[in-house]
Amino acid sequence: MSLENCSIIDFPVIHDPRGNLTFIEGDNHIPFEIARVYYLYDVPGGAQRGGHAHRELSQLIIAMSGSFDVHLDDGAEKRTFHLNRSYYGLHVCPMIWREIDNFSSGSVCLVLASHRYDESDYFRDHGEFRSAVKEGQGDLLS
Ligand code: TYD
């Protein structure tokens, strides 16, 4: 998996003078079934979240309110996405290191996830993550 597999996905918007509406269907608007939803809120100024990668998990990250930066790293390349609207999200595929920072005051980060919480799916050490990426590349070459 590489950064090329991670991209912004635009969701449908039903414009209405009473207020806009957006909806997301698993395996339709996003490329996986939704097994879990979680959100970050009351994030203090200057805080950083993430700092890990996942073996199997795919995620869709949305700035439900406010804004923040998502830094992605596939072990070879890095890219930063600034999220600030609730009608699009960032698809983060497995084996991508992510860090989230620059949260605006009152922001809410919503995450749709392909699997339930499983600590054994995490790489929490960047060195271990990089080694696993290199091993994966070795598998592909052999
Ligand atoms: P973590 O995934 O490290 O948070 P973030 O990536 O947003 O910085 O999770 C922080 C803590 O919350 C950790 O102890 C695991 C726990 N947790 C759950 O119990 N269930 C969940 O669905 C998530 C995402 C985290």
Q: pLDDT tens for residues 123-134?
A: 999 999 999 999
Q: What is the pLDDT of residue 142?
A: 55
Return the domain boundaries, the chain: 3-106+116-141
- Centroid of ligand 1 to alpha carbon of 21 (angstroms): 28
Longest Cα separation, the chain: 58
Query: In this predicted model, which residue has the larger pLDDT, 15 or 137?
Result: 15
The gap from C-alpha 60 to its chain's centroid, in whole angstroms, comes to: 5
> Which residues touch 88 (CB under 8 Å, ≥6 apart)?
8, 9, 10, 11, 62
Which of the residues are catalytic?
Answer: 52
- CATH classification of 3-106+116-141, choosing from 2.40.160.60, 2.60.120.10, 2.60.40.10, 3.40.1080.10? 2.60.120.10
Residue with CA nearest ligand 1 atom 18: 117
Q: pLDDT tens for residues 21-52?
A: 999 999 999 999 999 999 999 999 999 999 99
Pocket test for ligand 1, best of 34, 38, 58 (most atoms within 8 A of CB): 38
Cα distance between residue 54 and residue 142, in whole Å = 24
Q: pLDDT tens for residues 95-117?
A: 999 999 999 999 999 999 999 99
pLDDT-derived band at 137 (thresholds 50, 70, 90) equals confident
Cα distance between residue 79 and residue 63, in whole Å = 17
Q: Hey, what amino acid is at 69? A: D
- Centroid of ligand 1 to alpha carbon of 2 (angstroms): 23
